Amino acid sequence: MLMESQYWPPEKMLAWQRTHLHDLLHHARANVAFYRQRLDCVFRSDGAIAWERWHELPILTRADLRDQRPAMQSSFIPPGHGRTGIAKTSGSTGVPITYSISGNAFAVAKQFWHRFYHLHGIGADIVQAEHKVYLPGGKRMSVDHIEHRNAQTGKTVHFINRNLENERKLALLANTKTSCLVDATNHIEVLARANLRRAQPVALRWVVGLGMGITNAQRQLFRQSFGALALSPYSSTEGNLMAFQCAKVIQNFHINSELLFHEILDHDNNPCAPGQVGRFIITPLFNAAQPLIRYDTGDLVRAGTECACGSGLPVLAEIAGRSDEIFRFPGQERALARFGDELVQTALAAEACQYAQTEPLGIQVRYVAGVDASDEACERVRQHLLDVLKVDISIGFVRVARIPVNAGGKQQRVVCELPAGLAS
């Protein structure tokens, strides 16, 4: 269906979305305490949805997900939606959330990943590798490498332990004859620089960067180091694969309209015209466990126009999503992605955290909390960061009223604040 629906005209896609939105709104109002009165404005007396009043629904924020989690859980999961799973993330904002995902929502989202890979020619015969700390199901990687074959698709995926040294990772990519590497974007950058120093650099056909966008400089680096085409799916824990890079017009991203209803709004919550930058607001259509209705992703995007590829899916011309920077210590680099955010924030009793490199061998942990963390808590976090980074550095702690924002008005979880000459 997804290979056909990408060419649907807008009116057919809107009808599809409203069918699923109708069911989602009724389910949320009946079974989720958070939405019991919140959705009243769009319900007519006969239960029909007043679509013309959609814009009156309040915008859902990341803070709502953090502070209202118990009230946002569905008391009833409809038949066929499977078991509910839990995902935890701080993204690149430093604001941690725990999010519930129904089995059906997860299964549906997998099909959109299949479409993305298929459109870019990454079929079941392509050998793929992913760097992992935890295996599917939550078990920690205790070996260097595991070969996994998907029984449904027949695709071979090599899980490589993320905690290995770069040279060992590169050797495993070469030994497994990997063509496509999937990893956090900044981890790929660190690995690509190590690959350039190798006598026989590893060659790849594709690298798929997760968790943040890929800059032009990174695209050039990945091409120079691996000979690889860099692909940048636009995904998140809450929205899953929200948009994907066009296979023909590479600078365009197509929104997965069959998976979610989207809006691009200015600061006054008015719709943005093509070419304007606005906040990306989403309503995923299939998650009955914890519905998100008009959820502000926190990302800024630029609305595009029709794509020359012929797809009818809406276009994002630019994604200015949040991104982590890389720590650049003398003679070595470290990417801080997917480490123990929950451990840090629990130890510091923090609502949000930021990790800032303020000296060549120094990091400052900034945290938002009601009281100063104890010396014992700070030491626990310090040891964890030293274990993750594997560099002998000083680590300081500063309690702040709010996380500082960058020039674009965004909070970032990881920043490098060294002068240009020292950060190179």
Q: What is the CA radius of gyration of the chain?
A: 22
Does the structure show a pLDDT above 70 at 308? yes
Range with the lowest mean pLDDT among 60-74, 118-132, 229-243, 344-358? Answer: 344-358
Q: Which has the higher per-residue pLDDT, 323 or 53?
A: 53
Q: What are the residue ranges spanned by the domains of the chain? A: 2-109+234-320, 327-423
Query: Which DSSP helix (H) or strand (E) runs through 70?
Result: none
> What percent of the chain has pLDDT above 70?
92
The fold of the 2-109+234-320 domain, in CATH, is: Rossmann fold (3.40.50)
Give the helix/strand (H/E) hosting 88: strand 84-89
Residues in Cβ contact with 18 at an 8 Å cutoff, skipping those fewer than 6 apart: 49, 51
User: Is it the case that residue 211 has pLDDT exceeding 80?
Assistant: no
CA atoms of 290 and 76, how far apart (whole Å): 10
Residue 151 has pLDDT above 90, yes or no: no
Q: Which CATH code for domain 327-423?
A: 3.30.300
CA distances from 41 to 19, 58, 297, 339 (A): 18, 10, 23, 42
Averaged pLDDT, 45-67? 95
Mean pLDDT of 29-38: 97
pLDDT, tens digit, for every residue of 81-124? 989 998 877 555 556 788 999 999 999 999 999 999 999 999 98
Residues 6 or more apart whose CB falls under 8 angstroms from that of 180 comprise 122, 126, 127, 128, 129, 204, 205, 206, 207, 208
Identity of the residue numbered 215? T
pLDDT band at 424 (very low <50, low <70, confident <90, very high): very low
pLDDT at 399: 95
**Kind and range of the H or E run holding 73:** none
Give me the mean pLDDT over the 13-19 stretch: 97
pLDDT mean over 394-404: 90
Q: What is the mean pLDDT of the chain?
A: 89
Arithmetic mean of pLDDT, 409-418: 75
DSSP 293: S
Supply φ then ψ for residue 64, to 5 degrees: -60, -45
Report the alpha-carbon distance of residue 258 to residue 114 in Å, rounded: 14
Helix (H) or strand (E) segment spanning residue 159 = strand 156-161
Is the pLDDT at 238 greater than 70? The verdict is yes
pLDDT score for 408? 45
Question: Strand pairing partners for 200?
Answer: none
Distance (Å, rounded) from C-alpha 238 to C-alpha 89? 9
